[in-house]
Amino acid sequence: MFQLPKARRLVMMNILLRRYFVTRAKTSTKFASFSEVLPLQEKQFTGIAFPLLEVEKYLAPNLDTSSFHIFSPNHNDISKAEMFFIPSRQHPIDYFTSAVRIDHTPELLQPEVCFLGRSNVGKSSLIKALFSLAPDVEVRVSKTPGHTKKMNFFKVGNLFTLVDMPGYGYRAPKDFAQMVEPYLNQRQNLKRTFLLVDSLVGLQEMDHIAIEMLEEFGIPYVIVLTKIDKPSKRVMTNNVLQIQDFIKEKTHVCFPQLFPVSSIYFSGIHMLRCFIVHVTGNLILST
Ligand SMILES: Nc1nc2c(ncn2[C@@H]2O[C@H](COP(=O)(O)OP(=O)(O)O)[C@@H](O)[C@H]2O)c(=O)[nH]1
Ligand SMILES: [Mg+2]
């Protein structure tokens, strides 16, 4: 049977894989831009633009929901923030580099935010959704859990950097010791850490370990609830309330407001873009 030489086979496989990932990155970008969300009917609009307010609708009226409204940009702020995620010749957005050890991380002065969470929680998908207006940015979304073992740096012009951290899973202690801990401890330009938690299952043991570490180091972080298209309204509401109570009672450096997202339907993505642009010092809210 005809067989390709090994080197050529590898090249072919690379081309096929690239094609697969790039094609995936280009599919389903409806509602990627806020301009496509604005004309929607109120219910659908709120669900995508302000998913936390959608949850609030299902709560008892006497419940204190002040933590739902701490960061509350208006439409104009959200549209302005989106401009930072649209690439141009003067403002290139691209994958920059990867690192497996802290001493391999690039020396960048621009503000940075990083994304942390269990393997399979949806980190890469979230970064892909945030960058959906820059379709040339290649973010690898793996089929196999625990694929990301590197820190991947994405530069948004010379304004800020997004870092996809290795997922903590069964290899967590090793990855944590080698990469996550020293990065969080030493990175001078780190402005905010986003801790991703699956909205279907809520806080898991591994999440608590990450929270303990963030609290111990005093690193400001925000909890992002991923895959909100999955849970029922009841499960979603329960998990939101439970996590918000936990933040209030047990944490000191966690932002009290949750950021629910669905990377498939772009729910909460516009809001999160706005928050990132804001915490990296690139946008002062008009409200
Ligand atoms: N339904 C749904 N699935 C998601 C969402 N985000 C990610 N996934 C799926 O969850 C799996 C893990 O996602 P990935 O981004 O690779 O997770 P990572 O290991 O944290 O980087 C993939 O099969 C994704 O397609 C989401 O918002 N909704
Ligand atoms: Mg990943």
Express each pLDDT in 169-228 by its tens digit.
Answer: 655 567 677 788 899 999 999 999 999 999 999 999 989 989 999 999 999 999 999 999
Q: What is the pLDDT of residue 22?
A: 42
> How much is the CA Rg of the chain, to the nearest whole Å?
19
Number of the ligand 1 atom closest to the C-alpha atom of 230: 1
CA proximity to 217, closest of 187, 257, 258:
187
Ligand 1 centroid to residue 123 C-alpha, Å: 7
CA-CA distance, 17 to 242, in Å (whole number)?
Answer: 41
* E runs forming strands in the chain: 93-99, 112-117, 151-156, 160-164, 190-198, 221-226, 259-260
Ligand 1 within 6 A of CB of 200: no
Ligand 1 within 6 A of CB of 117: yes
Taking residue 3's Cβ as centre, other Cβ atoms within 10 Å add up to 7
CA-CA distance, 136 to 121, in Å (whole number)?
Answer: 24
> Could you tell which of 125, 139, 163, 175 is best to mutate to test the pocket of ligand 1, judged by most ligand atoms within 8 Å of the CB?
125
Ligand 1 within 6 A of CB of 142: yes
Residue located nearest, by CA, to atom 25 of ligand 1 = 125
Ligand 1 centroid to residue 216 C-alpha, Å: 29
Residue located nearest, by CA, to atom 10 of ligand 1 = 122
Express each pLDDT in 44-103 by its tens digit.
Answer: 999 999 999 999 998 988 999 999 999 999 999 999 999 999 999 999 999 999 998 888
Q: In this structure, what are the phi and psi dihedrals at residue 190, rounded to the nearest 5 degrees?
A: -75, 115
Beta bridge partners of 197: 225
Burial 182-216 (b: 16+ CB within 10 A, else e): ebbeebeebbbbbbbbbbbebbeebbeebbebbee
Tell me if 84 sits within 8 A of 158, measured CB to CB: no
Ligand 2 centroid to residue 100 C-alpha, Å: 14
Q: How would residue 4 be classed by pLDDT, with cut points 50, 70 and 90?
A: low
CA proximity to 119, closest of 184, 187, 176:
176
Superfamily the domain 6-279 falls into: P-loop containing nucleotide triphosphate hydrolases (3.40.50.300)
- Could you tell me if residue 266 is left (phi over 0), alpha (psi between -120 and 50 degrees) or otherwise beta? left
Ligand 1 within 6 A of CB of 149: no
CA proximity to 86, closest of 154, 132, 34:
132
Q: How would residue 10 be classed by pLDDT, with cut points 50, 70 and 90?
A: low
Ligand 2 centroid to residue 199 C-alpha, Å: 17
Ligand 1 centroid to residue 238 C-alpha, Å: 21
